[in-house]
Amino acid sequence: MATFEITIDDNKIQDLLQSDQGLSALLGPILNQVLDAEMTEHLHAAPHEQTDRRQGYRNGSYTRQLTTRVGTLDLEVPRDREGTFQTSLFDRYQRSEKALVLALMQMVVQGVSTRRVKKITTELCGREFTRSTVSRLCEGLDEQVHAWAQRPLDGQPYPFVLFDAMQVKVRRQGAVRATTVMLGVGIGADGQRELLGLHLAYGETEGGWHRFIERLKARGLSGVHVATSDAHEGLRQALHTAFPGLIWQRCQAHFRRNVIDQTPSPLRDRMHDRLDAILTASAPAPAREALEATMDALDGEAETALRVLEDGFDDATAVLALPPKYRRRLRTTNMVERLIEEIRRRERVVRIFPTMEAARRLIGARCAEQHEEWSTGRRYLTMDAFFEWERAQANPNRAATALPQAA
């Protein structure tokens, strides 16, 4: 991805910020410079630059409007003579914006809105939308979300997967009802993160998780060795049914909260220290020793917490079977939790989705955007050590020389 240098005179910035146009007048010149820089990158030459690397010539520009939270901008989009230049600025900038606006607009169109929601819609887009405009925008966005949600997953195995869920409010069956959004993340054999998909269900049940995971498998999800999730029994059973023999890692962040919640308040600092020693141990044996030391030290003082700790110990430390370099990023579902927080920021504005389709559209657009960032960004993990570990597991005679030493 290119790095663009934006230049705007300081006095110009001050004038713009003090004017009635404010940020919209400031944002326009910035985006115009981005468009011009994209054309320079496309042609491998700046305007009037003489270079052997040039791959075409400019051919004027055309005006294109971009609706943003700070108003509608008139931008000058450059053309090239061959007509091959395309900018991703508009789609990337507006994808989540459109989803949020559409969810709000549907409330207005379908008669479930309030005066406040209509005011927010007008502020976000700078104008009111007709039914035909809403319909046209919905169709375009639905196609994008559908293409992401149904893309094949059979290009590579996904050794590591993480699952989590969130609750949103949707108007259905004549009332506002809690609805579960299930999310799945995978780390492929190439080490890149991908958002595998999402599934909306009436509740977080084993049946709902089973349907979601089976749909992922039907799209090509395979090669799963390690799955990280919270301790929801339905999800756990669905994972073991779909991927027999996988390593199930119980999210250590959830597990820690479960233990601390059952620990008497005066002992919680001590329990945190004890959990640090257990969960960050270098290998299964030291983790077991730390567990036994904790059981002895707190015996008779925190019986319920110790029972929760002992019952969940094996699942919470399952990741210790892997080479050390993979443990930190697979020990929790924090990666998915951060995505959920990003979705929450947009969902709080909507509060109640008018339909399941509106919820799927907004959340799906945010997921598609995050998937694009992850899959085209820096590699998340290098997988060489994992595949060496996998070969060592298949051939125990090589294990002594193949497995990396614990950190």
Same structural domain, 373 and 292: no
Rounded CA gap, 211 and 217, in Å?
10
Same structural domain, 121 and 204: yes
Dig out the tokens for 276 from the structure: 């640090």
Q: Is residue 2 part of a domain?
A: no
Q: Which domain holds residue 54?
A: 10-87
Between 278 and 30, the more confident residue is 278
Q: Is residue 366 part of a domain?
A: yes
pLDDT band for 128, please (50, 70, 90 cuts).
low
The DSSP secondary-structure symbol of 74 reads E
Same structural domain, 72 and 103: no
Q: Is residue 3 part of a domain?
A: no
Q: How many helices (H) and strands (E) does the chain have?
A: 16, 7
% the chain with pLDDT above 90: 52
Query: Is residue 384 scored above 90 in pLDDT?
Result: yes
Q: Is residue 5 part of a domain?
A: no
pLDDT digits (tens, 9 = 90+) for 360-381: 988 898 898 899 889 888 999 9
Between 40 and 97, the more confident residue is 40
Rounded CA gap, 361 and 356, in Å?
9
Same structural domain, 106 and 79: no
Rounded CA gap, 206 and 225, in Å?
20
Rounded CA gap, 46 and 240, in Å?
57
Same structural domain, 128 and 210: yes
pLDDT band for 103, please (50, 70, 90 cuts).
low
Rounded CA gap, 348 and 49, in Å?
49
pLDDT band for 116, please (50, 70, 90 cuts).
low
Let me know: does 107 contact 354? Beta carbons within 8 Å: yes
Q: What is the pLDDT of residue 112?
A: 40
The per-residue pLDDT of the chain, averaged, comes to 83
pLDDT digits (tens, 9 = 90+) for 133-180: 555 666 667 888 899 999 999 989 999 999 999 999 999 888 999 999
Same structural domain, 76 and 197: no
User: What are the C-alpha distances in Å from 238 to residues 212, 235, 253, 314?
Assistant: 9, 5, 21, 19
- Which residue type is seen at 234? G
Same structural domain, 236 and 374: yes
The mean pLDDT of 346-361, rounded to a whole number, is 83
Dig out the tokens for 306 from the structure: 């110790």
Dig out the tokens for 374 from the structure: 């992850």
* Residues forming a β-bridge with 182: 165, 199
Same structural domain, 245 and 147: yes
Let me know: does 89 contact 38? Beta carbons within 8 Å: yes
Q: Of 65, 87, 109, which residue sits at a domain end?
A: 87
- Strand boundaries in 81-223, DSSP class E: 160-172, 175-187, 193-201
Q: Is residue 36 part of a domain?
A: yes
Q: Of 331, 361, 385, which residue sits at a domain end?
A: 331
User: What is 23-67 written as a DSSP string?
Assistant: HHHHHHHHHHHHHHHHHHHHHTS-TT---TT----EEEEEEEEEE
The mean pLDDT of 346-370, rounded to a whole number, is 85
Q: Phi, psi at residue 73, to the nearest 5°? A: -105, 140
Rounded CA gap, 371 and 259, in Å?
33
Same structural domain, 361 and 234: yes
Dig out the tokens for 23 from the structure: 């940020």
Let me know: does 171 contact 353? Beta carbons within 8 Å: yes
Instruction: Report the number of distinct structural domains present in the chain.
Output: 3
Query: Is residue 346 scored above 90 in pLDDT?
Result: no
pLDDT digits (tens, 9 = 90+) for 68-92: 655 677 888 999 988 888 887 666 6
Between 110 and 169, the more confident residue is 169
The mean pLDDT of 237-241, rounded to a whole number, is 96
Same structural domain, 139 and 204: yes
Between 181 and 369, the more confident residue is 181
Q: Of 87, 121, 148, which residue sits at a domain end?
A: 87
Q: Is residue 1 part of a domain?
A: no
Q: Is residue 105 part of a domain?
A: yes
Q: What is the pLDDT of residue 5?
A: 56
pLDDT band for 114, please (50, 70, 90 cuts).
very low
Same structural domain, 325 and 350: no
Q: Is residue 406 part of a domain?
A: no
Which residue in 240, 247, 393 sits closest to 331, CA to CA? 247
Between 104 and 113, the more confident residue is 104
Same structural domain, 259 and 302: yes
